[in-house]
Amino acid sequence: MKNQELSKIFFEMADYLEIEGVDFKPYAYRKVALSLDNWKEDVGEIYRSKGIKGLQEIPGVGEGIAKAIEEYLKSGKIKSLEELKKKLPLKVDELLRVESLGPKKIKVLYRELGVKDLKDLGKAAKAHKISPLFGFGEKTEQNILQGLEFLKRSKGRFLLGDIMPTVKIIEESLRARKEIKEVSVAGSVRRQKETIGDIDILVVSENPKKTADFFVSLPEVEKIWAEGSTKCSVRLKAGFDVDLRMVKRESFGSALQYFTGSKEHNISTRKIAIEKGLKLSEYGVFEGNPSTGSGRARQIAGATEEDVYKAIGLSFVAPEMREDDGEIQAVLNGSLPVLIKQKDIKGDLHCHTVASDGKDSIEEMVRSAMDLGYEYVGISDHTKFLGVTNGLDEKEILKQHKKIEELNAKFKKQNLKFRVLHGCEADIMLDGSLNAKDEILEKLDYVIASVHSGMKMEKKKMTARIIKAIKNRNVDIFGHPTGRLIGKRDEYQMDFDKILEVAKENGTILEINSSPLRLDLNGFNIRRAKTHGLKMIINTDSHNKEQLNLMEYGIGQAHRGWAEKADIINTLSVEKLLEFFK
């Protein structure tokens, strides 16, 4: 499938064009890149069966872009992009990962200082060559140094959300093979860690040689590190490495347990096995130890993970909890949580529409929410703010309110048990007030309050700012509470425990934002919030209808945070939910 590859190329194209100072086109390329990333049908297939015309049925693809896709499918490259790269020999994607560097700044840095990559950038910043440049200054130079430091810490790791689509494709290709009897993802992907070093996949194959040949010749593969009958290791074109392990059927469960990790969890489980006179390895659970002369080791478990845990006296531990952070004690003292399930979720309350910075209409968002089997969806566009987001002013909110009331009336008439809730995402201003009037907020079903500006505020001020906002009686939900962007931007400086206390007193609900760029709250903070007795809500922060599917990432973090159904309020019926907001 070439969709993801092309998506990446068009994002790159947009970046280069932006650096070149070209108007509009970057926007068009990004739009197509997004469409392609979500498009279910293989672009190559579409082109083969329906040609250029077929390509133009994909949203955002006009004639020009369709031709570019054709060129790429035929030749494996796009000439205009190659030319741009020759003209600006920069590692654009690398430089763009530095928070506070955009295309415009990158261009200036290249023209003035010859900065081509992160190494050049670091040198220039340390030598204080950046601050004198027009439009930069001391602060930007400091931010660049901080951004570089941050990148160093997250080096070589990928976002879970960038990896998952590829994982699913590869998993499916393997599952479709006749000789393959079992397939499971393992490692940090299975544990839903927010960043991933490499992908680990386990299979049981009746013909390992055939499976190995098939795997290393997948179209996604760029380079083969190793190819054997028990393990293959490859680099994908998308930039990630994948380890495929082929194991015996009777060892599948123990191998899965071993390669799911974490290493620390494994050390603890092995210790427990030893205390019971057993041996736990990737091959199984064994009793009797040949080295002490007590006879031949006999395998007592290994085919399934459940059996493996049972054999060593434990019950099954959810993969997301296997971090050696109290989960074994929880099993032993019978306090293992019953984790929330995706099917417990009854609705999504953080959705943007075309009215602010979203891509789809209320109706389209509603239809997709219905398709997901939800009972309600909440529309929460930005409120008016004199800044980057184009929010709704009072008149527009009231107009939207009327539209939503009409939709609900229509559903009622049709005897449809579906409700559209009307909320908003208000900005928490620098002084902790909101950018919307109380008398408007009062009319809404709920209000999400989020910080979108002044994110580098000093700790005391930031804490006071947020506390003031969550004390506002119209605020129900605190959106993406720590403000971090994974691998890009740290959490706000704030006294988070204090904020959690105030949130508890005020009945504020904390958001688990499922956007793969955020995952905020993450597992760690979810557990912390749970300890404070707080309720949370898992939202997607969708800016188009496809993004409603991102809920799975929020669920993954909820699992890492040991959250149960009762901790999460969008498992409630709409009536109970509205009661809650009151």
Full DSSP string of 545-571: GGGGGGHHHHHHHHHHTT-BGGGBGGG
The Cα-based distances of 423 to 117, 383, 394, 398 in angstroms read: 43, 10, 13, 11
Integer Cα distance of 111 and 88 in angstroms = 9
**Considering beta carbons, is residue 301 or 469 the nearer one to ligand DGT?**
301
CA distance 283 to 248: 8
Please give the residues from 222 up to 261 whose contact with ligand DGT meets the rule CB under 6 A: 258-259, 261
370: number of Cβ within 10 Å? 15
- Please list, in sequence order, all residues whose beta carbon lies within 8 angstroms of the beta carbon of residue 271, skipping any fewer than 6 positions away: none
Cα–Cα distance between 187 and 294 in angstroms, integer? Answer: 34
Q: Which of ligand DGT, Zn ion, Ca ion, none has residue 15 at its interface (CB below 5 to 8 Å by kind)?
A: none
**Near Zn ion by CB under 5 A, which window of 95-103, 267-275, 534-542, 553-561?**
534-542
Nearer to Ca ion, 179 or 198 (CB): 198
Nearest by Cα to 209 from 237, 238, 187, 179: 179
| Site for Ca ion, residues 142 to 171, rule: CB under 5 A | none
CA distance 199 to 48: 31
- Which of the stretches 101-109, 206-214, 410-418, 535-543 binds Zn ion when contact is defined by CB under 5 A? 535-543
Q: Which of 187, 479, 487, 554 binds Ca ion (CB under 5 A)?
A: 187
Please, is 133 exposed, middle or buried when counting C-beta atoms within 10 Å of its C-beta (0-12, 13-18, 19+)?
middle
Phi and psi dihedrals of 513, rounded to 5? Answer: -85, 120
Q: Among 541, 560, 561, 570, which residue sits at the site for Zn ion (rule: CB under 5 A)?
A: 541
162 binds Zn ion (CB under 5 A): no
Which position's Cβ is nearest Ca ion?
A: 187
Selection from Ca ion, ligand DGT, Zn ion, none that 478 binds (CB < 5 to 8 A by kind) is none
Nearer to ligand DGT, 316 or 580 (CB): 316
Q: Can you tell me which of 165, 197, 288, 454 binds ligand DGT, judged by CB under 6 A?
A: 197
Considering beta carbons, is residue 144 or 314 the nearer one to ligand DGT? 314
**Per-residue CA distances from 564 to 328, 338, 533 (Å):** 18, 6, 12
- Nearest distance in Å: CB 267, ligand DGT: 6
Residue 425 binds what, of Zn ion, Ca ion, ligand DGT, none (CB under 5 to 8 Å, by partner type)? Zn ion
Tokens 């031949």, residue?
A: 296
For Zn ion, the closer CB: 141 or 520: 520
Nearest to 356 by CA among 387, 335, 328: 387
The only residue of 263, 412, 459, 460 in contact with ligand DGT, by rule CB under 6 A: 263
Question: Is residue 381 at the binding interface for Zn ion, with CB under 5 A as the rule?
Answer: no
For residue 536, how far is the Cα from the chain centroid? Answer: 18
Residue 425 binds Zn ion, judged by CB under 5 A: yes
Please give the Cα distance from 483 to 490 (Å, whole number). Answer: 7
Using CB under 6 A, pick the residue from 262, 361, 493, 506 that binds ligand DGT.
262
Alpha helices by DSSP H, 39-194? 43-55, 63-75, 79-87, 92-96, 103-113, 118-126, 137-153, 160-175, 187-190
Under the binding rule (CB under 5 A), the answer on residue 200 touching Ca ion is yes
From 75-83, 197-205, 443-451, 506-514, span contacting ligand DGT (CB under 6 A): 197-205
Residues near ligand DGT (CB under 6 A), total: 14
51: alpha, beta or left, given left = phi > 0 and alpha = psi -120 to 50?
left
Number of residues located near Zn ion, criterion CB under 5 A: 2
| Minimum distance of ligand DGT from residue 308's CB (angstroms) | 14
Q: Partners of 223 in the beta sheet?
A: 235
Helices first, then strands: H and E counts in the chain: 24, 17
User: Is 115 in contact with 124 (CB distance < 8 Å)?
Assistant: yes
Q: Which is nearer to Zn ion, 320 or 425 (CB)?
A: 425
**Contacts with 372 (C-beta within 8 Å, 6 or more apart), sequence order:** 548, 549, 551
Name which of residues 208 to 267 contact Ca ion (CB under 5 A): 243
From the list 226, 267, 274, 332, which residue makes contact with ligand DGT (rule: CB under 6 A)?
267
| Residues 168-187 as x/- pattern, contact with ligand DGT by CB under 6 A | -------------------x
C-beta of 173: minimal distance to ligand DGT in Å?
20
Q: Which stretch binds ligand DGT (CB under 6 A): 68-76, 263-271, 311-319, 430-438?
A: 263-271
Is residue 196 part of the contact set for ligand DGT (CB under 6 A)?
yes
- State the residues that interact with Ca ion by CB under 5 A: 187-188, 198, 200, 243
- State the residues that interact with Zn ion by CB under 5 A: 425, 541
- State the residues that interact with ligand DGT by CB under 6 A: 187-188, 193, 196-198, 200, 258-259, 261-263, 266-267
